[in-house]
């Protein structure tokens, strides 16, 4: 059974397992296995057939922003509008096939903006050049997620799921957990707060899944199994994300107002922008 099949089986088992006190240890162990297999997907191919030509863009300027979104949501239009770089835009999907860089000049700062090919569901498993896109996103200082305002939550949840599955945490702080592997002495487990999501037994089970039998673990906040796994793997990136909603002319003004008031969200309308530009 391959990695993708193992991931699928574990995801199905997690979905059908009821969450209660009796199953919390089993779910914690399943999450540890799932994270381990997903991390293997991030490892470079030994065959060398997935080098990602067109995606090796040298990081430059004062910051890097990655444009993430489904096909045909306006990423290329945004790049062409904010920078002096032209990125092909058309009414059909997948007009952008590689990473196209541009530079935003703002108050003396040079911000590198990368137009990436549209992500599709299953990108984390390699569909639609998804692995190359996600690999570039991990090097960014900010993720700018372009969304269709007519499908605000469906697209956002799918994109967040794809990024989450490969260790990209959006608008989240790093877990306040101290973790250090030792040469001996077993598990040293402590906390400076009351823990409601894990206990010493669960921590030990998760560590054993990663073949770690000697370690020092100190919880400084009430974290769960997912946060502990992130700390153990130590390959997660924590990035701020700005959600940009396009096609707002296709929804009601009340819906536009509601979306615009959500945290880290901006609404845009290209048709209006270009009309004003021509005046």
Could you report how far apart the first and last alpha carbons of the chain are, in Å?
62
Judged against a pLDDT cut of 50, whether residue 278 lies above it is answered with no
Identify the DSSP state of 180: E
Domain identity same for 147 and 192: no
Nearest Cα neighbor of 36 from 217, 209, 224, 231 is: 209
Domain identity same for 166 and 249: yes
Domain identity same for 148 and 249: yes
pLDDT tier at 161, thresholds 50, 70, 90: confident
CATH code of the domain in which 98 resides = 3.40.50.300
Domain identity same for 166 and 204: no
Domain identity same for 179 and 83: no
The beta-carbon contacts of 191-198 under 8 Å, at least 24 apart in sequence, are 191/218, 191/219, 191/220, 192/218, 192/219, 192/220, 193/219, 193/220, 193/221, 193/222, 194/222, 195/219, 195/222, 195/223, 196/222, 197/222, 197/223, 197/224, 197/225, 198/28, 198/223, 198/224, 198/225, 198/228
The answer to whether residue 129 sits within a structural domain is: yes
Domain identity same for 144 and 267: yes
Domain identity same for 88 and 189: no
Domain that holds residue 86: 63-172+237-278
The answer to whether residue 48 sits within a structural domain is: no
The answer to whether residue 102 sits within a structural domain is: yes
State the Cα–Cα distance between residues 113 and 140, nearest whole angstrom: 9
Indicate the number of domains in the chain.
2
Q: What is the pLDDT of residue 119?
A: 57
Among 111-115, 183-187, 224-228, the minimum mean pLDDT is found in 111-115
Q: What is the pLDDT of residue 206?
A: 95
Domain identity same for 159 and 102: yes
Nearest Cα neighbor of 85 from 111, 52, 47 is: 111
The answer to whether residue 49 sits within a structural domain is: no
Report the DSSP beta bridge partners of residue 105: 110
Domain identity same for 83 and 217: no
Question: Taking every pair of C-alpha atoms in the chain, what is the biggest distance, in angstroms?
Answer: 74
The answer to whether residue 18 sits within a structural domain is: yes
The helix (run of H) or strand (run of E) holding residue 76 is helix 75-82
State the Cα–Cα distance between residues 52 and 136, nearest whole angstrom: 10
What are 90-109's pLDDT values in tens digits? 443 434 446 788 888 888 99
pLDDT tier at 1, thresholds 50, 70, 90: low
Judged against a pLDDT cut of 70, whether residue 263 lies above it is answered with yes
Domain identity same for 256 and 164: yes
> Torsion over CA of 256, 67, 37 and 209, rounded to 10 degrees?
-70
The answer to whether residue 91 sits within a structural domain is: yes
Domain identity same for 137 and 270: yes
What global pTM score does this model have?
0.77
The answer to whether residue 101 sits within a structural domain is: yes
Domain identity same for 37 and 158: no
Asked if 214 contacts 181 with a C-beta cutoff of 8 angstroms, the reply is yes
What are 39-52's pLDDT values in tens digits? 776 665 544 444 44
The answer to whether residue 152 sits within a structural domain is: yes
């Amino acid at each position: 059974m391959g990695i993708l099949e193992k991931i699928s089986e574990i995801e199905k088992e997690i979905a059908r397992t009821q969450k209660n006190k009796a199953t919390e240890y089993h779910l914690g162990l399943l999450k540890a296995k799932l994270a381990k297999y997903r991390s293997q997907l991030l490892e470079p191919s030994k065959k060398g057939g997935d080098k990602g030509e067109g995606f090796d863009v040298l990081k430059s300027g004062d910051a890097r922003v990655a444009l993430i979104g489904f096909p045909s949501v306006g990423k290329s239009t945004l790049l062409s509008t904010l920078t002096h770089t032209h990125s092909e835009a058309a009414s059909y999907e997948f007009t952008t096939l590689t990473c196209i860089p541009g530079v935003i000049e703002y108050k003396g700062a040079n911000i590198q903006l990368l137009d990436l090919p549209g992500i599709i569901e299953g990108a984390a498993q390699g569909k639609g050049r998804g692995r190359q896109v996600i690999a570039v996103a991990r090097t960014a200082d900010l993720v700018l997620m372009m969304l269709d305002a007519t499908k605000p939550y469906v697209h956002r949840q799918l994109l967040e799921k794809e990024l989450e599955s490969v260790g990209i945490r959006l608008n989240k702080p790093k877990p306040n957990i101290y973790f250090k592997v030792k040469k001996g002495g077993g598990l040293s487990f402590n906390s400076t707060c009351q823990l409601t999501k894990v206990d010493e037994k669960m921590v030990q089970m998760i560590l054993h899944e990663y073949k770690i039998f000697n370690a020092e673990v100190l919880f400084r906040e009430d974290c769960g199994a997912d946060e502990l796994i992130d700390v153990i793997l130590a390959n997660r990136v924590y990035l701020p994300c700005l959600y940009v909603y396009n096609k707002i002319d296709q929804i009601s003004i009340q819906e536009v107002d509601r979306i615009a008031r959500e945290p880290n969200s901006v609404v845009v309308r290209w048709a209006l922008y270009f009309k004003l530009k021509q005046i």
